[in-house]
Structure 1
Amino acid sequence: MTMNGLVRLEDHGARIDVVLNRPDARNALNLAMCEDLIEAFTQIAAMPDAGLVVLRAEGPAFCAGADLKERKGRDEAWVKGRRRLAFQAYETIGNCALPVIAQVQGALVGSGGEIAMSCDFIVASEAATFRFPEPQWGTVGATQRLQRVIGVPRAKELLYTGRVMGAEEALRIGLVTALTGAETLSATVDEIAERILRAPTLALRLTKHCIDQGARTDLNSGIRIELAAIDRLLSESDWRGGVERFGAQIGSAAKEQKA
C-alpha cells in the first residue's frame, strides 16, 4: 500500500513517530488517513530495531473526529465500508506489539479518541480537550473502547451529553495517564519514551502481550499467559545480563541518594 501523505512516519531508531499530518483539516479522520494509519503500523511491524511508537499530530488539534464532509453524496454501503476501515485502523494500532504512546496537544473529538485509546496510554497537554459527540451527530461510536477505559457510567454520560471535557478531568477519570504544560508536552513524552526504552525490547513486547491477553480472561488463565512469556524470555534473551544491569542501576541510585 502506498501512503497518501496524511500520516507521516518518522524513524528515530528505536523510537518511531507516527504523525497525523492533516493540520489544515484539524487532522479530521478520512478514508485516506485510515489507510495511512494501517500502512504505517504495518511498516512498523517489519522494523527489527523499533522498540516504541509515539503517535502524535501536527497543528493545534490532535484530531477533530471523523471528516463528515467526505460522506456527502455517498450511499449507505460507502459509509459502512468507511467505518469498517476506521475500525481496522484502530485495531492495527491496538495490535502493535510495541508500546504505543499517544501524545495529545489539543482538541480530541470522536474518532480522535478511538485513535488515542487504541494506544497503550495517553500523555496530554493541559490545553487538551476531549469530546465524544457521536450521538449528537446522529451516529454511533466510541461505545466500546471508552467504557473499557473510564467505566460504563462515565462513558454513557460523556456520549449522551457530547460535552467538552477538560484535561484535568480526563486525568482524574483515567482517560489520560500523565498531564503536563503545553510547552513541556514533547519533552515529557521524550522522557517517558527514553525511560521505557531502557528496558529490553523483548521484555516490553511480552509485558504488553501479557497485559493485553490477560485483560481478556480470568486470573488463572492470565497467570498461565505470563508463565509462557517467562519461558520464552528465559530461552530467547540475555536475562542474566538484564538482572546485572538492573542491580547496577539500583546501586548507582543508592549512591546518589547518599551523596
Structure 2
Amino acid sequence: MPITSTRSASGVTTITVDYPPVNALPSAAWFELADAILAAGDDLDTHAVVLRAEGRGFNAGVDIKEMQATEGFDALIAANHGCAAAFSAVYDCKVPVIVAVNGFCVGGGIGLVGNADVIVASEGAVFGLPEVDRGALGAATHLARLVPQHMMRTLYYTASNVTAEQLLHFGSVYKVVPADELDATALDVAEQIAAKDTRVIRAAKSAINHIDPVDVKASYRLEQGYTFELNLAGVADEHRDAFVATGKPKTTQGSR
C-alpha cells in the first residue's frame, strides 16, 4: 500500500509513504496521509510519530500530471485542499512528529517538514520550493520556519534548493546522517520522546502550538488564494503544461 502505518511496542507509530518514482502525491493521497497522521495522534497508545518515505526522495509535492490530465479545476482544488489537510495534520497531530528526509523534499514536502516537530535528514538531501516555476505559490509559510526571512525570499523567487547541511547550520534540522542511518536516527529521537509521560508530551505539543507566532494554517490558506488567481488567469496552466511536456520550467520574458 502507498501509505502504511505500524506501531512499535514503545508507542512509536511509523508512517511510510511510497509513491514511485519520486513520491509526487495524487490529491487523494494527501487526504489519506492526513487521516493516517491524525489517527496516529488520536490513538493514546501512540507517543510519537515518525514520518518517512521509501524511494529516491521524501516528497516531490503534488502530482502535476494528474492535475493537467483533469478537465476544469477539480483536481487543482482537491490538491490544494489535500495539501492543506496534510500540512495541518502534522501540525495538529497530538503527539510530536519526527520527519526523516531522504534525498529530496520539494514543493508540498516543505509543508509537511515545515510543520513537523523534529527534522532529521540524510547527507546531501535538498529542500526547496519550485512553485514559481510551476506558475503557483504556496508553502512560503513553511519554508520560513526552516530558514531566515531573506534566505526564504531568495530561495522562493529563484526556486533554488537548500541543503540539509545548511539547514543544520540554521538549526532547523536536528541531525544530518548517512542515508543508511536515517531511519535509525529518526526512531532514536522518537523513542526518546516516547519514553516520556505521554500526558505531559501531549500537553507540551498543544502548548507549543498555542504560542506559535504564526498561524500556519491561515497563512498557508492566504498563499493558496494567489495560486487560485494565477490559475484563473491561465498563467499556471502555461507553466504546468510546459513542465509536463519538457520536465523543465517555462521561462517568460516581459510577462505582464
TM-score (norm 2): 0.77
Q: What corresponds to 2:183 in structure 1?
A: 186
Counterpart-to-counterpart distance in 1, 2:125 and 2:59: 11
Shift of 1:15: 0.5
Q: Secondary structure at the match of 1:62?
A: coil
Q: Which has the higher contact order (CA 8 A, sep 6+)?
A: 2
Query: What is the SS of the residue equivalent to 2:84?
Result: helix
Q: Distance in 2 between matches of 1:11 and 1:148?
A: 29
The structure 1 segments of at least 4 consecutive aligned residues displaced by more than 4 Å after TM superposition are: none
Of 34, 41, 47, which residue of structure 1 is paired with 2:30?
A: 34
2:65 maps to: 69
Residues 48 and 130 from structure 1, CA distance in 2 versus in 1: closer, same or farther, beyond 3 angstroms? same
2:160 pairs with 1:163: yes
Between 49-58 and 107-116, the greater mean CA deviation after superposition: 107-116
Q: Give the Cα–Cα distance (whole angstroms) in 1 for the partners of residues 120 and 38 of structure 2.
A: 24
Corresponding letter in the other structure for 1:174: G
The aligned counterpart of 1:120 is: 117
- One-letter identity of the residue aligned with 1:145: H
**How far did residue 111 of structure 1 move?**
0.6
Aligned to 1:209: 206
Distance of 2:161 and 2:146 partners within structure 1: 17
Over residues 73-114 of structure 1, what are the superposed CA-to-partner deviations in whole Å (9 max), with x where a residue is unaligned?
332344123202210121112100101100011111111111
The 1-side partners of 2:24 and 2:78 are apart by 17
TM-score (norm 1): 0.76
Matched residue type, 2:186: V
Which is further off, 166-175 or 89-98? 166-175
Partners of 1:44 and 1:194 lie apart in 2 by 15
Task: Give the C-alpha shift of residue 54 in structure 1.
Answer: 0.1
Tell me which residue corresponds to 1:109.
106
Contact 1:38 1:92 in 2 (8 A): yes
The number of equivalent residue pairs is: 212
CA distance in 2, matches of 1:148, 1:105: 19
Which runs of 5 or more residues in structure 2 are unaligned? 215-256
Q: Distance in 1 between matches of 2:114 and 2:122?
A: 16
Where 1:139 maps in the other structure, the secondary structure is coil
Deviation at 1:121, TM superposition (A): 1.9
Change in CA separation of 1:153 and 1:74 when aligned onto 2, cut-off 3 Å: farther
Query: CA shift at 1:128, angstroms?
Result: 1.1
State the Cα deviation string for residues 3-32 of structure 1 (Å, max 9, x = none): xx321111223000111121x231112112
- In the TM superposition, residue 163 of structure 1 has moved relative to its aligned partner by 1.4
Does the CA contact (< 8 Å) of 1:97 and 1:209 recur in 2? yes
Bigger Cα displacement from structure 2, 123-132 vs 165-174: 165-174
- Conserved 8 A contact 1:52-1:100: yes
- Taking the aligned partners of 1:143 and 1:189, their CA distance within structure 2 comes to 25
Residue 55 (structure 1) aligns with: 51
State the percentage of identical aligned residues. Answer: 30
Among 146, 150, 159, the alignment partner of 1:149 is 146
- Alpha-carbon RMSD across the aligned residues, in angstroms, is 1.7
Stretches of structure 1 lacking an aligned partner (at least 5 in a row):
218-259
Contact 1:29 1:112 in 2 (8 A): no
Show the 5 A alignment for 1:211-250. Answer: 211-216=208-213
- Quote the offset at 1:216 in angstroms: 3.8
- The residue type paired with residue 21 of structure 2 is A
The DSSP-based 3-state class of the residue aligned with 2:140 is coil
2:78 aligns to what?
81
Q: Does 1:91 align with 2:78?
A: no
Rg larger in structure: 1
Letter in 1 for 2:62: A
